[in-house]
Amino acid sequence: MTLLERFHDHDIRALSRLITFVENREEGFRQLLGRLYPKTGGALRIGVTGPPGAGKSTLVNGLTKELLREGRTIGIIAVDPTSPFTGGALLGDRVRMNELPSDGRVFFRSMATRGATGGLAAATDNVAVLYDAYGFDFVLIETVGVGQVEMDIINACDVVVVVIVPESGDAIQMLKAGLTEIADVFCINKSDRPGAQRLAADLKYTLELRGSSQPAASTARFAHTLLPCAGHEHGHKPAVVQTEATTGKNVDALHRAIGEFIKRGHETSTFEQRRRQRLCAKITEILNVRFQSEFVNHVAGEQDILGEIDNIIAGQTNPYEVGDRLYRRFREQ
């Protein structure tokens, strides 16, 4: 049997091998993903994001158990679990994963920031495509919620769970950080700590005030993509759930809140719209990467840019002129 046949036959080791193949961007990885693409669309992607140490891994673990109880299968991607803030979390993740069954119903993979050539968001998406084609019901993606890359990962999810803790600040800060725009479900974890109740009330009040005046999440989510995708999502007000991930308290309520969002998402065209937008973003990204590498490799060349930087510092030119010149040379080639 070929590797691909074993993959289709639900051989978990074949899945693991193909992930490595795709992660290393080995010769032919794009063709492989292309061939598998028609088999995708069956898995729902749930993104879990939030500040370092908020309890995302513990919650993903708890949610996985809830989903398993429902008879679902789950592929997990932990993006950069070795955050510099909580160093050694990777080991913790491994320990937690050991609690999960090893009969193929769950598969776990972590993606390190280091060495992710071609972009972490793209690499994460590629693994999600493999999970989807493999036949998992759910893809759970854990990522630390800072920066554009993480936003790109989160935007590529069907459902976004934002995890915060009582120490995360007040609702106005959530609003400013754009969290209220991306959250489908808010999870206030570490609710055993003081301030959780107040934060929950504060957040609910703020979300209530915001009401439907908020532009559709899709507008904010995909503002950067090349191809405009019109579409309206249902005016959803994110649920606010308080959990205690370590004891498992209320993780079932979080699971229910996600379930309700999923139900509404299917009833309305939310998931359909998000999938379309995701594909727009994916195509834009493929073009960006190709143009960028073509430009940098074949035309500009590092030496050119280094020389131009000397010239800028010497006051002979400026970044705008240099950009224009390099671009023109590229076009005229």
Interface contacts to Mg ion, rule CB under 5 A? 56-57, 81
We find the least distance from the C-beta atom of residue 236 to ligand GTP, in angstroms, to be: 24
Report if residue 231 touches ligand GTP, rule: CB under 6 A.
Answer: no
Q: Do 243 and 251 touch, CB atoms closer than 8 A?
A: yes
- With CB under 5 to 8 Å by kind, the binding choice for 225 among ligand GTP, Mg ion, none is none
Nearest CB to Mg ion, comparing residues 108 and 186: 108
Nearest CB to ligand GTP, comparing residues 93 and 125: 93
Report if residue 86 touches ligand GTP, rule: CB under 6 A.
Answer: yes
Token reading at 29:
């990885």
**C-beta atoms surrounding 268 within 10 Å:** 15
Q: Do 36 and 128 touch, CB atoms closer than 8 A?
A: no
Q: Do 207 and 172 touch, CB atoms closer than 8 A?
A: no
Report if residue 118 touches ligand GTP, rule: CB under 6 A.
Answer: no
- With CB under 5 to 8 Å by kind, the binding choice for 129 among Mg ion, ligand GTP, none is none
Ranked by CB distance to Mg ion, the top (closest) residue is 57
Q: Do 177 and 164 touch, CB atoms closer than 8 A?
A: no
Query: Which region, judged by CB under 6 A, interacts with ligand GTP, from 13-21, 123-131, 240-248, 313-321?
Result: 240-248
109 DSSP 8-state letter: E
- With CB under 5 to 8 Å by kind, the binding choice for 219 among Mg ion, ligand GTP, none is none
Distance CA 167, CA 189 (A): 10
3-state secondary structure of 257: helix
Q: Do 131 and 43 touch, CB atoms closer than 8 A?
A: yes
Q: Which residues bind ligand GTP (CB under 6 A)?
A: 52-58, 81, 83, 86, 89, 92, 144, 189-190, 192, 244-246
